[in-house]
Every structure is written in structure tokens, then in C-alpha cells.
Structure 1
Amino acid sequence: MAETAGGGVRLLLRAEGLALLALAAVVYARFGGEWSFFALTFLLPDLALLAYLAGPRAGAAAYNAAHSLLVPAALLALGLLADLGPAFDLGLIWTAHIGLDRALGFGLKYARGFAHTHLGQLGPADPW
């Protein structure tokens, strides 16, 4: 059984990432989010890459935790239900980040190394 998506399935998953990025950005703009805040926080989930310094298993776990939609969805729900604008904004920005990563082919990681993702192998060789 294949561990990664290929062909048309991979293309569809990457297109979904692009749609997620676009939707999150449009909603952010529609609700009047500050673009300076967007720019300052957009790359924060990538701080999880530092966990690769502890090895590929720890790196994959941290990366996947920071690049799953579970926490951003919770922030969006909290922001809407409790009328907390900053939580809502952060949830949208985090969702946009995940969408961009998925559109570029940076999928969730396997413990074998950074280049091994659910969307397929990254690059010609594993840099980690």
C-alpha cells in the first residue's frame, strides 16, 4: 500500500491547499484583519521545524502538530463563539499558512525524515 498520494490525487490535495489559502485570506480581508499582523504571524507555524534538531521523529511530530487544521479550527470556533477577534484572526492566518504549505507540496511528515510527506517525496534527497 502506498504511503503518499500521487497523480491526480496529489494534484487535487494541492489544489485544496490553494483553495484553503484563498478562502482564509478572503475571509481575513472581509472581516477587516490587519495585514501587518498577518505578515508578522504567517510563518510562526514553521518554528516547529526547530524540533528537527532533536531528530526526525520529534521533528515530524512537532511539524504535524503545527500543520494540522485541528488547532486553527479550534481558534476559529473560539473566535466566533466567544467573539474573540484575535483568536479568529490567528485561526485564519494559521489556516492560510497550512493552505500555502499544502499547495506547495509540503504535506504532513513521516518520521523517516522531513522530505517524506503524505503528499509525496520532497526534492531529490532528504535534507534532514
Structure 2
Amino acid sequence: MAMTVQRVENAAVAVAILLAMVALGQPWWLLLAAFLLFDLSAVGYLRGSRAGAVSYNAVHSYAGPAMTSALYLALLVADHRVVWLLLVAACWAFHVAVDRALGYGLKLDEGFTHTHLGRIGPRPRVR
């Protein structure tokens, strides 16, 4: 039940970001075009489960988009309008939200299929 609520909440976040992009006259298609870029963080798994989890989690948390948005707002207060920074934050948050809505959570050290939302992928067959 809790996992279902988290998935619905994250789907709502993704929809809200998409609607905000449209309402603000920004290129909504950029959300889709940049979507897979954030998955490059999984390359850390080439060094092992622990390194993979660290690199993946660093990019698949809402902390990054929040800090990027805060930087945009700080620059805006200083009269510097750097819209591309806000677009990066939107694409980043959209990616995290869609991943979480699909059940892909932050990775644990045991491997890619172990997440904070539970196990993903096919279950191992019991013989």
C-alpha cells in the first residue's frame, strides 16, 4: 500500500512538472529528450554494486533538482535570469519522479534490483 501511494505521488509530481513547462511556455518535449541522460549515472555499476549505488543515487534523488532550482532562484534575485538552469532542474526532477512512479527507487548496496521501494525486476525462481 505505501509503495502504491509513493508511486501515485511521484506520478503527480511528473504531471505537475509537465503542466508547469506547458503553462510557462517552455519546451515540454525537453523533458522527454533529456530523460535518458540521467541514467548515465548507472555507469558506476561498472566499478561494482557499491560504487554504482552511490553514483546512481546521487543523480536519482530530489536533492539535485532542488539545489539547481535554488541556484536559479538565487541568481534570479541577483537579477540574472538563467532559464536553462531551471530547465535542467525540471528535466532532472521529472526523471526522478517518473522513475519513482515506475517503482525504481534509490539503490541499495546489494545490487541494481534492490531499492528503497523494494525489489524491482523479475523474482528469482525457486527450485
User: TM-score band, normalised by the shorter chain?
Assistant: 0.7 to 0.9
Partner of 2:55: 62
Q: Normalising to structure 2: TM-score of the pair?
A: 0.86
Q: Report how far residue 81 of structure 1 moved.
A: 3.2
Structure 1 runs of 4+ with >6 Å offset? none
**Percent of aligned pairs with the same amino acid:** 39
Q: In the aligned structure 2, how far is the partner of 1:32 from the partner of 1:43? A: 23
In structure 1, C-alpha distance between the alignment counterparts of 2:8 and 2:28, rounded to whole Å: 24
Say which SS state the counterpart of residue 107 (structure 1) adopts. coil
Cα offset, 1:36, TM superposition: 4.7
Deviation per residue, 1:23-78 (Å, 9 max, x gap): 11111222222245333322211001111111111111011000011110111122
**Contact kept in structure 1, 2:44 and 2:52, CA below 8 Å:** yes
Aligned length: 119
Which position in structure 2 is the counterpart of 1:49? 42
Residue 109 of structure 1: aligned partner: 107
Q: Report the Cα distance in structure 2 between the residues aligned to 1:27 and 1:81, rounded to whole angstroms.
A: 20
- TM-score, normalised to structure 1's length? 0.85
Alpha carbons 2:31, 2:94 under 8 Å: kept? no
Report the more deviating stretch, 23-32 or 88-97.
23-32
Could you say which residue in structure 2 is the equivalent of 1:3?
Answer: none
2:70 maps to 77
Larger Rg: 2
Give, in whole Å, the separation in 1 of the partners of 2:41 and 2:66: 18
Q: Closer, same or farther in 2 for the Cα pair 1:22/1:35, shift >3 Å?
A: closer
> Which ranges of structure 2 fall in alignment gaps of 5 or more residues?
76-80
5+ residue gaps, structure 1, are 1-7
Task: Confirm whether residue 31 of structure 1 aligns to residue 24 of structure 2.
Answer: yes
Contact 1:60 1:110 in 2 (8 A): yes
- Give the letter aligned to residue 117 of structure 1: T
- Asked if the contact 1:77/1:88 (under 8 Å) is kept, the reply is no
